[in-house]
Amino acid sequence: MDLPGWQALRSELHDQGVEFVTVGLEMGGAEVLRPFIEDAAPEHPSLIDRAHRMDALFGVTNIPSGIWIDERGTIVRPHETAVPPPVMRPDENGDLKPWGMGGRYGFDADHYADMVRDWASKGADSEYVLTPRDVIARSHPQTREISEAAAHFELAQHVWRQEGFSERALAHFARAHTLQPDNITYKRQAYSQYRVSVTDVPDDRTRFMQSPGEGEPWPFVSDFSADMAALRPPRSSSARTASRYRPTATPDQISSTIPNGHAPDQKPYTLESTQPSANARTKLRPRDSSAYMTIMNETAQTP
């Protein structure tokens, strides 16, 4: 959803020596993201990361995120939430509407764009460029659990491509999600591909329906709505929200989302009832999302 916004900001700042590179994290490959890229027609490089190398190399755990890299190839702002201001585009009726995630979830997209503009204008003197010490302080250590999660996620993808959402594939997804529960990209990839697999006639919005419908069996202990609720500031309704979206999870399954809390005798991603067939119909409200992570790379033309 945010590619048009990044393209607009790139058009504004490119003559000042700033280049944008957008990277789509998608284990389903290029064909999944092709419609979004072709629709936006970006002038900047728009890449596909099927293996989630961005997670391993830059510590990305959620999207949309942005990383600033200067003309020397040095990271001056590590990954953080990054959303461009929305752009006006015609809807299906021809009416101009804001397009993009800017302004949603409390994120100040206009301020973020101003930060990039300041960097483009002032280069290393920008107040938003961090010192090496601050970059390191904001970066997350690569613990053993994170490395093991990456290995299980890679194995899950391999098995999924061979067998679909078999018990073996679900077990590896479970371990990846358990070992690194804050890696939302690992979770959402499983959610979206599962949703497509159990929808009768998938369309371009199906993969964004990443939570179960009421009473619908769900092979994961979490879902997009519960994950987002966990990231928000505490509210009195948070517990109710989280429990609402875990209709098939047992107490043992829920506790297994805690790091190192996986109960070895449990199968946290195994359904209590028979898994829905591949032809099961779903009636869910589409959830807007973005499949893109952005890297800003300032060239040597910086003043």
Based on the fold, state whether residues 244 and 149 are members of the same structural domain. yes
Judge whether residue 155 has pLDDT over 80: yes
- Could you give the number of structural domains in the chain? 2
Cα distance between residue 174 and residue 267, in whole Å: 8
Based on the fold, state whether residues 85 and 198 are members of the same structural domain. no
Based on the fold, state whether residues 294 and 203 are members of the same structural domain. no
Encoding tokens for residue 188?
Answer: 């959402």
Q: Considering the entire predicted model, what is its pTM?
A: 0.70
266, part of any domain: no
Judge whether residue 72 has pLDDT over 80: yes
284, part of any domain: no
Based on the fold, state whether residues 115 and 12 are members of the same structural domain. yes
Of the candidates 155, 137, 163, 116, the one whose C-alpha atom is nearest the C-alpha of residue 5 is 116
269, part of any domain: no
39, part of any domain: yes
In terms of residue numbers, what domain contains 32?
3-140+289-298
187, part of any domain: yes
Based on the fold, state whether residues 114 and 207 are members of the same structural domain. no
274, part of any domain: no
Based on the fold, state whether residues 58 and 82 are members of the same structural domain. yes
Tens-digit pLDDT profile for residues 31-66: 888 888 888 889 999 999 998 889 888 989 988 899
Tens-digit pLDDT profile for residues 178-233: 999 989 999 999 999 999 998 988 887 888 888 998 888 889 878 988 888 887 66
Based on the fold, state whether residues 76 and 121 are members of the same structural domain. yes
Least-confidence region, from 8-12, 20-24, 217-221:
217-221
Given pLDDT bands bounded at 50, 70 and 90, which one contains residue 285?
A: very low
208, part of any domain: yes
270, part of any domain: no
Based on the fold, state whether residues 84 and 172 are members of the same structural domain. no
Based on the fold, state whether residues 70 and 190 are members of the same structural domain. no
Based on the fold, state whether residues 13 and 96 are members of the same structural domain. yes
Based on the fold, state whether residues 207 and 233 are members of the same structural domain. yes
Based on the fold, state whether residues 131 and 149 are members of the same structural domain. no
**Mean pLDDT, the chain, integer:** 76
- Neighbouring C-beta atoms of residue 80, cutoff 10 Å: 13
**Which one has a higher pLDDT value, 184 or 294?**
184
